[in-house]
């Protein structure tokens, strides 16, 4: 803890050696932790590098109320979840294109509906309790089976089933106007 406080203090003052020490100390753990969410080592490394770049860029305004390692791991987790959402947008777009064909001028209304749907889905996902959202995203966006999710989250398969069920129920409520289209696109 004292070492973390020292690194933070030196980092805020622009000490490049402190940043290098921080990098060497936490980089591998951050990449491995990202692997819990993404199965792409290169993408995990990109996210970790983005987190560290942002840490350096915003070092003077940095306020960390937890341990430095906890802060860094939470930042990696958030980056991974953002990446999962981004990948889902791509899959939805590909699915949408497959259902409605390529977007041209005659399909402007469908594109607007799709964009509106995506915005509502993103808002609805953010409203879900984190444990439900994570289980739902791992299942629907990553394609993991309940057993795999249970192992990754260190909970029972029944807990995963309950969390995903709750997420679906809440999404139905939040997206009642878009329910049918959302679940066609998510292949429920």
Contacts 24+ apart (CB under 8 A), 28-34: 29/69, 29/73, 30/72, 30/73, 30/76, 33/73, 33/76, 33/77, 34/76, 34/77, 34/79, 34/80
Please tell me whether residues 112 and 170 are part of one structural domain: yes
Question: 28: domain CATH number?
Answer: 1.10.1740.10
| pLDDT greater than 70 at residue 79 | yes
Q: Which of 20, 42, 77 is the last residue of a domain?
A: 77
Please tell me whether residues 107 and 72 are part of one structural domain: no
Please tell me whether residues 72 and 108 are part of one structural domain: no
- Tens-digit pLDDT profile for residues 124-147: 888 999 999 999 989 988 888 999
- Tens-digit pLDDT profile for residues 20-33: 999 999 999 999 99
According to the model, what pLDDT value does residue 116 have?
A: 66
The answer to whether position 117 is within a domain reads yes
| pLDDT greater than 70 at residue 108 | no
| pLDDT greater than 90 at residue 150 | yes
Question: 120: domain CATH number?
Answer: 1.10.10.10
The answer to whether position 88 is within a domain reads no
- Between CA 63 and CA 59 the distance in angstroms is 9
**Sign, Cα dihedral of 53, 127, 143, 70:** positive
Q: Quick one: pLDDT band at residue 188, thresholds 50, 70, 90? A: very low
Lowest mean pLDDT among 35-44, 96-105, 170-179: 96-105
According to the model, what pLDDT value does residue 63 have?
A: 84
CB 111 within 8 A of CB 103: yes
Q: What phi-psi label fits residue 154: left (phi over 0), alpha (psi between -120 and 50 degrees) or beta?
A: left
Q: State pTM to two decimals.
A: 0.51
- Between CA 50 and CA 28 the distance in angstroms is 14
According to the model, what pLDDT value does residue 62 have?
A: 83
DSSP string computed for 117-150: HHHHHHHHHHHS-HHHHHHHHHHHTT---HHHHH
Please tell me whether residues 109 and 57 are part of one structural domain: no
Structural domain for 163, as ranges: 103-185
Q: What is the CA radius of gyration of the chain?
A: 20
The answer to whether position 86 is within a domain reads no
Lowest mean pLDDT among 40-54, 102-116, 131-145: 102-116
State the total domains in the chain: 2
The answer to whether position 85 is within a domain reads no
């Amino acid at each position: 803890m004292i070492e973390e406080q020292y690194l933070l203090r030196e980092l805020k003052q622009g000490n490049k050696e402190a940043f290098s020490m921080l990098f060497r100390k936490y980089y591998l753990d951050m990449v491995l932790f990202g692997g819990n969410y993404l199965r792409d080592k290169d993408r995990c490394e990109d996210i970790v590098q983005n987190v560290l770049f942002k840490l350096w860029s915003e070092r003077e305004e940095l306020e960390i109320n937890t341990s430095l390692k906890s802060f860094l791991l939470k930042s990696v987790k958030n980056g991974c979840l953002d990446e999962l959402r981004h990948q889902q947008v791509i899959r939805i777009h590909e699915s949408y294109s497959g259902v409605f064909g390529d977007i041209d001028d005659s399909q402007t209304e469908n594109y607007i509906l799709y964009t509106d749907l995506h915005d509502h889905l993103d808002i609805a996902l953010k409203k879900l309790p984190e444990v439900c959202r994570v289980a739902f995203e791992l299942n629907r966006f990553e394609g993991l089976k309940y057993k795999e999710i249970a192992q990754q989250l260190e909970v029972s398969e029944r807990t995963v089933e309950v969390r995903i069920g709750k997420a679906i129920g809440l999404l139905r409520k939040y997206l009642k106007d878009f329910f049918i289209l959302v679940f066609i696109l998510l292949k429920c």
